[in-house]
């Protein structure tokens, strides 16, 4: 998922946050997924990519998250994000910085974390009848949305769905390993699909009391994250690690809450489907596969929904 591609604009920082020597001091709200990285001693970091709405910093660390994203309120709030109010101009790929001791520093910009937000809020309990209807509606919404170039549905995605629905761990892992890093961009299509799948299996498996789906999420998460750093981009590898723990963006949370009956599905699905070039559509595809797998395993355990 690429965030922020508009031309850079002049920073409009308030004089109240302009420090001595021209340094700019901001407050940020950070994902709880970043707590360890941000509260650890300072580590050096380097800017991988910079846009007016988002900056991606790779931290020199052996633990995940490996990439910290700075975003404004207008950007997609990724699960590894620190959200700030001001534009993120004046930063370029290759710039050096620091992450830790409760702050992120790049050049003359210092962002101090003041608040935390939850990147993995559970959708709440739901029943199989509601989930079955939601699966049908989500499938209809996806079919009505114009398909952009992306993954071949007859390839690894088909094997992944069959493996997840049928409970074949070997097939599911084989398909997942083929999808890691598949496609162009900061977050390849295969990774986006896997992220949607992992989050859906974990959260909807817990919401329906389907331990087999959570078990499948655990095994797939282990396989997908085992060597993600060497198989895909640093940004996407970090997002896969987040998804393995059920951490995701508000757009994905909205769809999960909608299929659980907590809010209308159609607007939530459209918000997700229109993210990025293909990212939203690929994540929704993964969610739909996970939703179908949860239903399949729940029905085997509890009987057909009426």
Please give the backbone phi and psi of residue 43, each rounded to the nearest 5 degrees, phi first. Answer: -125, 150
pTM (2 decimals)?
Answer: 0.90
Quote the pLDDT of residue 303.
59
- Is residue 48 within 8 A of residue 93, CB to CB? The reply is yes
Q: Given 116, 139, 163, which residue is the final one in a domain?
A: 116
- Residue 232 within any structural domain of the chain: yes
pLDDT of 11 over the 50 cut: no
Q: Give the pLDDT confidence score for residue 15 in this predicted structure.
A: 37
Q: Which residues contact 143 (CB under 8 A, 6 or more apart)?
A: none
Per residue in 207-234, pLDDT tens?
999 999 999 999 999 999 998 989 999 9
The answer to whether residues 195 and 278 belong to one domain is: yes
Residue 305's pLDDT band, with cuts at 50, 70 and 90, is low
Check whether residue 200 and residue 252 sit in a common domain.
yes
Burial class (CB in 10 A: 0-12, 13-18, 19+), 252: buried
pLDDT in tens, 231-289: 999 999 999 999 999 999 999 999 999 999 999 999 999 999 999 888 999 999 999 99
CA angle in degrees (0–180, nearest 5) for 232-271-229 = 10
Q: Among 95, 116, 137, give the residue marking a domain's end.
A: 116
**Residue 152 forms part of a structural domain:** yes
Shared domain for 50 and 188, answered yes or no, is no
Q: Are 60 and 45 in contact (CB under 8 A)?
A: yes
170 and 238 share one domain: yes
Asked if residue 30 belongs to a domain, the reply is yes
User: What tens digit of pLDDT does each residue of 97-153 get?
Assistant: 999 999 999 988 999 999 999 999 999 999 999 999 999 999 999 988 876 667 777
Residue 5 scores a pLDDT above 50: no
* 62 and 108 fall within a common domain: yes
- Interior angle at CA 283, CA 280 and CA 285, nearest 5: 110
pLDDT value at 10 more than 50: no
| 69 and 171 in a common domain | no
Question: At which residue do the structure tokens 């994203």 appear?
Answer: 69
Do 207 and 149 lie in a common domain? yes
Span 171-195, average pLDDT: 94
- CA trace torsion 37, 249, 56, 238 (10° rounding): 60
Whether residue 46 is contained in a domain is answered as yes
Instruction: With respect to residue 8, please indicate whether it lies within any of the assigned structural domains.
Output: no
Domain with 44 in it: 15-116
According to DSSP, residue 87 is labeled -
Contact 246, 78 (CB under 8 A): no
> Which of these, 39, 62, 25, lies nearest to 116 by C-alpha position?
39
Calpha distance 156→166 (Å, rounded) = 15
| Of 21 and 83, more confident | 83
| % of the chain residues with pLDDT over 90 | 75
Please indicate, yes or no, if residue 1 is contained in any of the structural domains. Answer: no
195 or 17, higher pLDDT: 195
Same domain as 297, residue 201: yes
- Structural domains in the chain (count): 2
Helix, strand or coil, per DSSP, at residue 42: coil
Judge if 176 and 221 occupy the same domain. Answer: yes
* Same domain, residue pair 134 and 112: no
Say if residue 91 is in the same domain as residue 224.
no
Model confidence pLDDT, tens digit, residues 31-72: 999 999 999 999 999 999 999 899 999 998 877 778 999 999
What the block records as the tokens of 136 is 């049908």
Does residue 105 sit in the same domain as residue 134? no
Q: Does a cis peptide bond (omega within 30 degrees of 0) precede residue 65?
A: yes
Does residue 29 belong to any structural domain of this protein? Answer: yes
Residue closest to 193 by CA, chosen among 220, 227, 229, 226? 220
Residue 67 vs residues 57, 128, 236, 255: alpha-carbon distances, Å: 5, 37, 9, 25
Residue 3 has a pLDDT of: 46
147 part of a folded domain: yes
| Final residue of a structural domain among 60, 95, 116 | 116
Sign of CA dihedral 169, 228, 4, 12: positive
């Amino acid at each position: 998922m690429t965030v922020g591609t508009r031309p850079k604009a002049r920073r409009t920082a308030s004089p109240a946050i302009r420090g001595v020597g021209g340094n700019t001091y901001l407050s940020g709200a950070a994902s709880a997924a970043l707590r360890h990285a941000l509260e650890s001693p300072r580590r050096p970091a380097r800017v991988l990519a910079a846009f007016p709405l988002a900056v991606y910093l790779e931290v020199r660390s052996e633990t995940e998250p490996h990439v910290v994203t700075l975003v404004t309120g207008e950007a997609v709030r990724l699960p590894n994000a620190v959200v700030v109010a001001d534009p993120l101009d004046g930063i370029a790929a290759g710039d050096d910085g620091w992450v830790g001791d409760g702050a992120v520093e790049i050049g003359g910009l210092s962002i101090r974390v003041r608040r935390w937000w939850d990147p993995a809020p559970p959708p709440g309990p739901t029943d199989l009848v509601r989930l079955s209807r939601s699966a049908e509606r989500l499938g209809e919404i996806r079919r009505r949305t114009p398909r952009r170039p992306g993954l071949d549905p007859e390839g690894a995605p088909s094997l992944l769905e069959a493996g997840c629905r049928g409970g074949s761990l070997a097939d599911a892992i084989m398909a997942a390993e083929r999808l890691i890093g598949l496609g162009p961009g900061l977050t390849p299509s295969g990774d986006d699909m896997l992220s949607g799948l992992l989050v859906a299996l974990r959260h909807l498996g817990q919401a329906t009391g389907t331990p087999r789906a959570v078990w499948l999420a655990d095994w797939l998460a282990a396989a997908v994250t085992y060597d993600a750093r060497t198989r895909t981009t640093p940004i996407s590898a970090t997002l896969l690690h987040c998804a393995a723990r059920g951490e995701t963006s508000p757009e994905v949370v909205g769809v999960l809450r909608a299929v659980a009956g907590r809010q209308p599905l159609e607007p939530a699905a459209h918000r997700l489907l229109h993210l990025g070039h293909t990212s939203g559509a690929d994540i929704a595809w993964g969610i739909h596969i996970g939703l179908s797998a949860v239903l399949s395993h729940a029905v085997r355990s509890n009987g057909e929904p009426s």
